[in-house]
């Protein structure tokens, strides 16, 4: 058996990759593993603890390295004088998990081109040999058009498949930019908008989280989301 592998990247850090990863895990059919190749910032519990809390457990989680400083993995590893997590190491860990699970989700650190090692290794260098698609998480508001377009352009440049975008945190009171972005993100990036998780979703857990995850992810990602739910800009 070898399950599917999906990478989850973002337009940057703090855009909601962890919440989206947890939502994908919560709505997936079959066994799920979540791989966080490198977790930086040891003051926090770490993304996998967050994923376990939101999903209520029942999934496999694997963190390959934990670094003290809340920085890019390569920089944090260098400052500790420990070996970094290389793309090759990410590939072998993802392959091992895929041999035993129906779905492997790989959550990167920060945005797409964040360095993992000092030889220029990045998340795409692991996704390419695996032939894995890369989902892009973006913010809702002003600035998302540019950073989402740049991220998708880089994925195309590397011949990686991008199924689409998911907004990590859709505001309770969306402003004009957020409402317009729903319309313009697909045309500006050339990939569909495949969901939007409501602000506050990250504080939910178990069945409550699963219900919100289903409502916030498109059918192609295992949910029931309909872009029309966000409302058209006037
Ligand atoms: N839909 C949401 N509901 C509630 N909180 C959210 C949501 N999306 C993001 N957040 C909050 O915003 C912050 C950043 O989100 P998150 O940790 O998921 O970012 P990230 O993209 O995974 O960043 P990193 O690069 O550190 O992995 C967190 O404090 C998280 O709880
Ligand atoms: C610490 C933070 N939450 C992430 N884990 C790492 C983000 C690295 C971003 C590096 C950069 O793009 O400058
Ligand atoms: Mg995260």
Number of domains present in the structure of the chain: 1
Does 201 contact ligand 1 (Cβ within 6 A)?
yes
Residue 178 lies in a domain: yes
Residue nearest to atom 9 of ligand 1 (CA): 16
Residue 207 lies in a domain: yes
Pairwise CA distance, residues 232 & 219, whole Å: 20
Does 8 contact ligand 1 (Cβ within 6 A)?
no
Residue 85 lies in a domain: yes
Which domain range does residue 184 map to? 4-228
User: Which CATH number fits the domain that encloses residue 46?
Assistant: 3.40.50.300
Residue 233 lies in a domain: no
Can you give the pLDDT at residue 227? Answer: 85
Q: At what angle do helices 176-189 and 144-157 cross, to 10 degrees?
A: 20
Residue 234 lies in a domain: no
Residue 8 lies in a domain: yes
Which ligand sits closest to the CA of 201?
Answer: 1
Q: Is the pTM above the cut of 0.90?
A: yes
Q: Which residues are catalytic?
A: 36
Which regions in the chain score pLDDT beneath 70?
1, 43, 232
98: three-class secondary structure by DSSP: helix
| Complex confidence, ipTM | 0.93
Cβ(129)–Cβ(156) under 8 Å? no
Can you give the pLDDT at residue 42? Answer: 72
Choose one of 45, 71, 117, 137 to mutate for the ligand 2 pocket test, by most ligand atoms within 8 angstroms of C-beta.
71
Does 40 contact ligand 1 (Cβ within 6 A)?
no
Can you give the pLDDT at residue 45? Answer: 87
Pairwise CA distance, residues 90 & 102, whole Å: 18
């Amino acid at each position: 058996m070898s399950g599917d592998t999906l990478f989850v990247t973002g337009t940057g850090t703090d855009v909601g990759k962890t919440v989206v990863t947890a939502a994908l895990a919560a709505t997936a059919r079959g066994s799920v593993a979540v791989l966080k190749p490198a977790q930086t910032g040891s003051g926090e519990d770490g993304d996998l603890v967050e994923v376990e809390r939101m999903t209520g457990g029942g999934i496999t989680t694997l963190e390959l390295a934990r670094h003290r400083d809340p920085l890019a993995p390569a920089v944090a590893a260098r400052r500790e004088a420990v070996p970094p997590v290389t793309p090759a190491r990410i590939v072998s860990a993802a392959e091992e998990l895929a041999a035993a699970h129906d779905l492997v989700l790989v959550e990167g650190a920060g945005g797409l081109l964040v360095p993992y090692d000092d030889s220029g290794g990045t998340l795409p260098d692991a996704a390419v040999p695996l032939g894995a698609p890369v989902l892009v998480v973006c913010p809702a508001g002003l600035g998302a058009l540019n950073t989402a377009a740049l991220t998708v352009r880089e994925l195309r440049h590397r011949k990686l498949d991008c199924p689409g975008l998911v907004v990590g945190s859709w505001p309770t009171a969306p402003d004009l930019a957020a409402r317009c972005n729903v319309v313009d993100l697909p045309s500006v990036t050339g990939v569909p908008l495949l969901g939007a998780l409501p602000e506050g979703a990250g504080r939910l857990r178990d069945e409550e989280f699963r219900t919100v995850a289903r409502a916030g992810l498109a059918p192609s990602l295992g949910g029931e989301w309909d872009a029309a739910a966000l409302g058209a800009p006037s």
